[in-house]
Structure 1
Amino acid sequence: MGMCKRERPFKCKLCNFASTTQSHLSRHKRVHTGEKPYRCPWCDYRSNCAENIRKHILHTGKHEGVKMYNCPKCTYATNSPMEFRNHLKDNHSDIENPDLAYLHA
């Protein structure tokens, strides 16, 4: 029995990459342009994908002890997005968009 494949209508004009979404194709195009708009806040590492920055910080060991999620209202810090979200909900219900609060820390 064959696997069901999703249609991939968004195709790269420079290689055989195809995607199910326009946003994935846009991210892929950075491979060809060399654009790296995302940067590590603690060193000069740059990437074409935000997820690679998160992986760099958490798994390379270069930034031992660094916490990615820092509460803008107190000294709480963690590397777990779920723990951070729960902290904000339990302690700072006045923060309007807790999913973006770490960006302002």
Structure 2
Amino acid sequence: MYAVVKTGGKQYRIAKDQVILVEKLDVEKGKTIELSDVLMIANNGKVKVGEPFISGAKVTATVVDQTRGEKIIIFKKRRRQNSRRKNGHRQHLTVLKINDIVEKAAKPQAAAEA
């Protein structure tokens, strides 16, 4: 079983127990989050595609770490002008471990009134 989820403006193909790097999410290390923007779920050959999202579907994940990516060098040069600029950038990332993919979320039980 795998799913395609959207987070941080990107789409990721994920499966249970997979570890992925996504753009920074404002969640503390060790906390559990739910990704509700599920675009597609494939289970035993059956594919369910959302329009654009599947209602009721969600993916639960645990935040393993908050880290930064590889350094990217930005170098700009204007020829024959003796003009050069060099900058670097490291993207902030969140490491997620996928716990579960739920196709249809259970409806909450109404509290019994006495």
Q: TM-score, normalised by structure 1?
A: 0.22
Bigger fraction of residues in strand:
2
Q: Which has the higher contact order (CA 8 A, sep 6+)?
A: 2
Q: TM-score, normalised by structure 2?
A: 0.21
